[in-house]
Structure 1
Amino acid sequence: MLSTTVFVSGANGFIAQHIVKQLISKNYKVLGSVRAATKGEELAANLNSPNFSYVVVPDIGVAGAFDDALKSHPEVIIFLHTASPFRYDIQDIEKELLNPAVNGTKNALKSVQEYAPQVTNVVVTSSFAAIGWSNKYFDPTKVSTEEDWNPQTWQDALANPDDGYLGSKKFAEQAAWEFVKIEQPNFRLTTVNPPVAFGPQAFPIKNKKELNTSAEVINGLLKLQQGYDIPEVRHLFVDVRDVAAAHISAFENPDAAGKRLFVSSGPWSAQGIVNIFHKNFPQLSYIPIGEPWKDTLYRSSTFKFDNSKTVEILKVDLRPLEVSIVDAVQQILEAK
């Protein structure tokens, strides 16, 4: 029996590497796109599998970015679009965040429609940012579900990079659903909408200076010294390994077609993460204890949500916060 070939755009991303790793463990063949050959070679070395190959797509925002890759690989049956810009060191929010996210998604779907009619399922990595009523729209009484859209406008998104990121996720996902509605392509679309993804990197850390954003949240707390205040940060989380598994369920499970999968395990706070440090890692006694009881207060004041529809489709038990944090911290402490 021939293995199904899955295309994963942005294959060297934090979530994407876990997706690729899980796909290969399930005997899929994976064709990943990366921005530079060095990234592809590094991922190939980590995977060490004949079932992985890569193509270079330097800029997903360019029209036809995926055309050549799909023309050259008619064996691709599933397309997972995880690539999206996410950086804060930007000068022009519209030019560097919003347009690349929207155009990158449209370009991927157009290429699949035109040059890969054999593709049955497309899965787009979106975000809780496209769902949650954040920033100036935050409402502590609002219960977010798979049906909700962040009410932010394009103009709101131009205010600062944080709002720009929220907007990039919302408008890119909306562009995907609009494309399917108008074009009626052969493939079925599913989106995966995670909040902050914690947990270990897919492979051992070689350079602590190159951690992804959510791992840097943990690493930043590991650097706290006595006398420092613990940040009053809180949000929702999900384990990165569960996000990856949701991407695979998104095309394996027929019930997921045409759905938004809102994968969230629950709330977290910086104080709660520090509490986990002190419970599990006695060598981290240098980190301030803070006020452990405030974790409950912080978690109760963040986003409320109901993702029961997603949980029913996926039929999985999502990992709890302590597992995600312990696994991530152990990996960071083992890194040079």
Structure 2
Amino acid sequence: MFAIPTLTNASRRQFSTTKSVNMKVLLTGGSGFIAAHVVDILLEHGHEVITTVRSQEKADKIKSAHPKAGSNLDFRIVEDIAQENAFDKAVQSLPGLEAVIHTASPFHFNVTDTKKDLLDPAIIGTTGILKAIKAHAPSVKHVVITSSFASIVDGSKGTRPGHTYSEKDWNPVTLEEAVQNPSNGYRASKTFAEKAAWEFLEKEKPNFTVATMCPPLVLGPIVHYLNSLDGLNTSNQRVRNLITGQNKKEIPDTGTYIWVDVRDLALAHVKAIEIPEAANKRFFITAGYFTNKEVCEIIRKNFPEYESELPGKEIKGGDYPEGGLYKYDNSRVVEVLGIKFRTLEESIVDLVKSLKSVGA
């Protein structure tokens, strides 16, 4: 097993002198749920942002939503991140690039070929961006990669009462298990991609440091100009299903019982390129526990207009498991990045408001 590199005092001084404001930043997957919020925060912090998107149409939508960004927001088209050398042209075209935030990776279970649809885009996309940076962007000092709690959790252990998950944990999923079903495939894609990043850092010894973000379920407001009710990210679909009457008879199992608001996660990504102490660290980013039943009651309390669509108070399901639940340690993201997490109620209220804006 590889070891995540640690900074020596000399290298820490090197990265500590890197300016933390007004950086030139490449963001991959700019039209994604998380990335759209990363764009907002990067611009708010005064950075120059170049984001990759799969089409000019996506670029135009993002550009029109940020009319004040001017020359601080630009785009590069990368149609398929699973292709070898997919990021080379984009990186080569950006002299003076200082940081890269890599969020582009699939998160869905609607797959026909686990390797082609999940594993390849995640793994090849991650190694591809790292290779491109090393080969063509020697000025880059900070790389942040969106990973997942899926790379931490051991799904075979169930709810694992008594265990405390932290950055020290790795999902032990194998390639053989990965191709058995889409759920295994997704967890494996995040695990293998993150491991590939740390292995690259260990073997290639590039000029840049790496930080990985490992969130569980990501909730919070969507950006209306990129989303519709039919095109939601997987995490927020459960809330859409509640307010559109799809769960009247039974509240679905929660599945993953920890969560984070997308805006707090986006801020963590940006802080990880601004704070030298974030270099070469994994961050397990969670605000705490939640259940689908709690989400339902928050909607009932704050949006009485959806009462007829929600499951009645007597409806069972969606609660915490009877046998207990794992604990979590999110101290690193609080202490190193200084993140103060939003409450579940604030996140769900803002999410439902954003869903209403696209027709819910």
TM-score by length of 2: 0.88
CA change 1:158–1:296 in 2 (3 A) is: closer
Q: Is the 8 A contact 1:271 1:291 kept in 2?
A: no
Gaps of 5+ in 2: 1-18
CA change 1:206–1:85 in 2 (3 A) is: closer
* Selected match of 2:37 from 6, 15, 18: 18
SS of residue matched to 2:31: coil
How far the C-alpha of 1:291 sits from its partner, in A, is 4.8
Please say if 1:278 is aligned against 2:300: yes
Single out whichever of 262-271 and 216-225 deviates more from structure 2. Answer: 216-225
Single out whichever of 175-184 and 204-213 deviates more from structure 2. Answer: 204-213
The aligned amino acid for 2:88 is: D
Mapping 1:219-258, distance limit 5 Å: 219-224=240-245, 228-234=249-255, 235-258=257-280
Of all paired residues, the percent bearing the same amino acid is: 38
The aligned amino acid for 2:58 is: K
Gaps of 5+ in 1: none
How far the C-alpha of 1:183 sits from its partner, in A, is 0.4
* Selected match of 1:200 from 200, 221, 227: 221
Please say if 1:132 is aligned against 2:153: yes
SS of residue matched to 1:76: coil
Measured in 2, the distance between the counterparts of 1:151 and 1:295 equals: 27
CA change 1:295–1:226 in 2 (3 A) is: closer
* Selected match of 2:108 from 87, 98, 122: 87
Measured in 2, the distance between the counterparts of 1:330 and 1:149 equals: 36
* 1:74 counterpart residue number: 95
Single out whichever of 280-289 and 99-108 deviates more from structure 2. Answer: 280-289
The aligned amino acid for 2:340 is: D
Q: CA RMSD in A?
A: 2.2
The CA deviation string for residues 128-173 of structure 1, in whole angstroms up to 9 with x for no partner, is 0001122566523321101110111111111101110000000000
Q: Is the 8 A contact 2:82 2:125 kept in 1?
A: yes
The aligned amino acid for 2:57 is: T
The CA deviation string for residues 101-123 of structure 1, in whole angstroms up to 9 with x for no partner, is 11111110000000001001000
Please say if 1:45 is aligned against 2:64: yes
* 1:213 counterpart residue number: 234
TM-score by length of 1: 0.94
* Selected match of 1:9 from 28, 35, 39: 28
* Selected match of 1:64 from 50, 61, 85: 85
Q: Is the 8 A contact 1:102 1:168 kept in 2?
A: yes
The CA deviation string for residues 235-267 of structure 1, in whole angstroms up to 9 with x for no partner, is 210000000000011111111101001110112
Measured in 1, the distance between the counterparts of 2:334 and 2:164 equals: 16
Please say if 1:333 is aligned against 2:351: no
Measured in 2, the distance between the counterparts of 1:174 and 1:163 equals: 16
CA change 1:90–1:205 in 2 (3 A) is: closer
Q: Is the 8 A contact 1:267 1:302 kept in 2?
A: no
* Selected match of 2:117 from 66, 72, 96: 96
Measured in 1, the distance between the counterparts of 2:62 and 2:247 equals: 38
Measured in 1, the distance between the counterparts of 2:322 and 2:56 equals: 42
* 2:338 counterpart residue number: 315
The aligned amino acid for 1:207 is: S
